[in-house]
Amino acid sequence: MKPITILGGGLGGLTLALFLRKQDVPCVVYELRDENFRKGGDIALSPNALRVLDHVGVYGRIRKQGWNYDFVRMISVTGKYLGAHAWGGLNKFHYHCLRINRDIVRRELLAEARLQGIPVYLDKKCVGISEEGEEIVLKFADGEIVRTEYLVGADGIHSLTRQFLYPGSFSKYSGLLVALGHTQKVKLGGSMDGIQLPCMFVGKNGTFSILPNSYDGGEIGYFITTDLPDRGPENWALLEKDKGAIVDIINEVIEDKSWPKFVGDLVKATHLEDFRTWPFAKVPDLKHWASKSGRIMLIGDAAHAIPPAGGQGAASAFEDAETLAYVLARLNLPDSTASGLIGSLQLWETHRMHRIRQILDYTIRAGNIRKRSSGIMQVFKEWTIWAMFKLYEYNGGGPAWIYNYNAESILEVISK
């Protein structure tokens, strides 16, 4: 069979390519960015994400390149302990959670893809997609034309593939903004001695989360999450360049004098160039993630952008990739037919869409506690968080339905 074309060489696209190789399905990857591109920022990889990376043989390469942890402690700005949210655990979920730089994960996925001999073409901007009979035609900015039988759009939140299937399906600002920074623990003197990390402080103007980024805990990352009005794509881009303005947003969240001193110390110890922003975006609900012909598919942010409040954005892309690879592996069966593939894709869609809806609901609830509140509403929010974690403790300590998901479960679904 001809290689399956994957548009997008980020986390989801490279993971899909590796799983296709494991299933002896040929593929080729085209990525917009060049070799030197660095997106930056840290991500939390919960057990369900790490299970996928373990299945594909990459987990061992990244495990000691980030911070491994099981809980995030929730605290009010006045120091009241509200509860601990489980993010991992060897006994319950078989993996710790891993806080790691996104670029490290992509680098290791790319290295493994090259080791496996998968063609990955970088600095390839796709400017047009069309369908001609049983072929999909991709036009690139450098003039190259690629014809393929099957296309998977793993091209992110601004997906060209999604626009081809659903014209006008542009991403929109969700209402929440993250502003983040990082510094070295040694720069803080003793101001954080005795502080149990990771932790999240819940204030009236938003939340302030502190998590080590490195395996030894020497690098400390932090971020505020708050709700702000939309500024539009151009102004968000300008904000990213205005590091002083980012600091002002962070300081506005922690301006209340009741905030612990070391929170401000973290901000002061950070170099200006180490501040970034992340306006959470969302995409419209799509009726399908595959074309009627079954020849074009979407995964990850191209299909369903998951805001990171619940820590499931990358995990969902990984799950999409592994499950879809098992579906596409059926193309290698002797009795494989186009109608059979379409039927399997429909089962895959139903299975994945149901889970994504549940994860989105969970993420929205997680995002709501990060929004601004005042007076009695702040008291109510803190009480709600406390009650929520008491319920978690009663039910075993965390959202096991998220963390114990195994993408191999799709094999039973598509065998029906």
Q: What is the DSSP string of 20-42?
A: HHHTT--EEEE-SS-TT-----E
Band of the pLDDT at 306, cuts 50, 70, 90?
confident
**Mean predicted confidence (pLDDT) in 42-57:** 97
| CATH code for the domain of 258 | 3.30.9.30
8 A C-beta contact, residue 220 and residue 212: yes
156 vs 399, higher pLDDT = 156
pLDDT at 385: 81
| CATH code for the domain of 27 | 3.50.50.60
Is the domain of 120 the same as that of 161?
A: yes
pLDDT at 335: 81
Neighbours of 261 (CB within 10 A): 9
Boundary-marking domain end, from 254, 281, 308: 281
388 pLDDT higher than 80: no
Is there a domain that residue 12 lies in? yes
Q: Across 245-379, where does the E strand assignment appear?
A: 276-282, 296-298
Is there a domain that residue 237 lies in? yes
Is there a domain that residue 165 lies in? yes
Is the domain of 405 the same as that of 319?
A: yes
Is there a domain that residue 95 lies in? no
Q: What is the number of domains present in the chain?
A: 2
Residue 68: its H or E element:
strand 67-69
Is there a domain that residue 77 lies in? no
Band of the pLDDT at 70, cuts 50, 70, 90?
very high
Per-residue pLDDT reduced to its tens digit, 201-236? 999 999 999 999 999 999 999 999 999 999 999 999
Q: How far apart are CA 362 and CA 356, in angstroms?
A: 10
Band of the pLDDT at 393, cuts 50, 70, 90?
low
8 A C-beta contact, residue 33 and residue 129: no
One DSSP character per residue, 115-156 reads HTT--EE-S--EEEEEEETTEEEEEETTS-EEEES-EEE---
Is the domain of 252 the same as that of 121?
A: no
Is the domain of 352 the same as that of 262?
A: no
380 vs 306, higher pLDDT = 306
Is the domain of 299 the same as that of 399?
A: yes
DSSP 299: -
377 pLDDT higher than 90: no
Is the domain of 226 the same as that of 292?
A: no
Tell me the angle at which helices 313-328 and 11-22 cross, rounded to the nearest 10 degrees: 30
Boundary-marking domain end, from 233, 266, 281: 281
- CB contact set of 128 (below 8 Å; sequence gap of 6+): 137, 138, 139
Band of the pLDDT at 368, cuts 50, 70, 90?
confident
384 vs 29, higher pLDDT = 29
pLDDT at 41: 82
Is the domain of 305 the same as that of 340?
A: yes
28-to-7, 36, 166, 290, 396 alpha-carbon distances in Å? 9, 20, 24, 19, 43
Q: How far apart are CA 105 and CA 101, in angstroms?
A: 7
396 pLDDT higher than 60: no
Is there a domain that residue 79 lies in? no
CA-nearest of 317, 394, 400, 390 to 95 is 400
8 A C-beta contact, residue 152 and residue 5: yes
Is the domain of 332 the same as that of 380?
A: yes
8 A C-beta contact, residue 94 and residue 406: no
Phi-psi region of 112 (alpha: psi -120 to 50; beta: other; left: phi over 0): alpha
Is the domain of 366 the same as that of 390?
A: yes
Neighbours of 338 (CB within 10 A): 13
Is there a domain that residue 143 lies in? yes
pLDDT at 197: 94
Is there a domain that residue 52 lies in? no
Is the domain of 109 the same as that of 221?
A: no
Pairing verdict, β 67-69 and 97-101 = antiparallel
> pLDDT averaged over the chain?
93
253-to-52, 66, 177, 277, 384 alpha-carbon distances in Å? 36, 27, 12, 14, 21
Is the domain of 200 the same as that of 276?
A: yes
One DSSP character per residue, 198-210 reads SEEEEETTEEEEE
Band of the pLDDT at 398, cuts 50, 70, 90?
low
Amino acid at 366: A
390 pLDDT higher than 80: no
CA-nearest of 410, 90, 80 to 260 is 80
pLDDT at 129: 98
Q: How far apart are CA 300 and CA 290, in angstroms?
A: 13
Is the domain of 271 the same as that of 288?
A: no
Domain extent at residue 248: 174-281
Boundary-marking domain end, from 281, 296, 323: 281
8 A C-beta contact, residue 316 and residue 300: yes
8 A C-beta contact, residue 221 and residue 172: no
Among the ranges given (133-147, 178-192, 238-252), the one the predictor scored with the smallest mean pLDDT: 178-192
Per-residue pLDDT reduced to its tens digit, 276-297? 999 999 999 999 999 999 999 9
pLDDT at 397: 58
First to last CA, the chain: 25
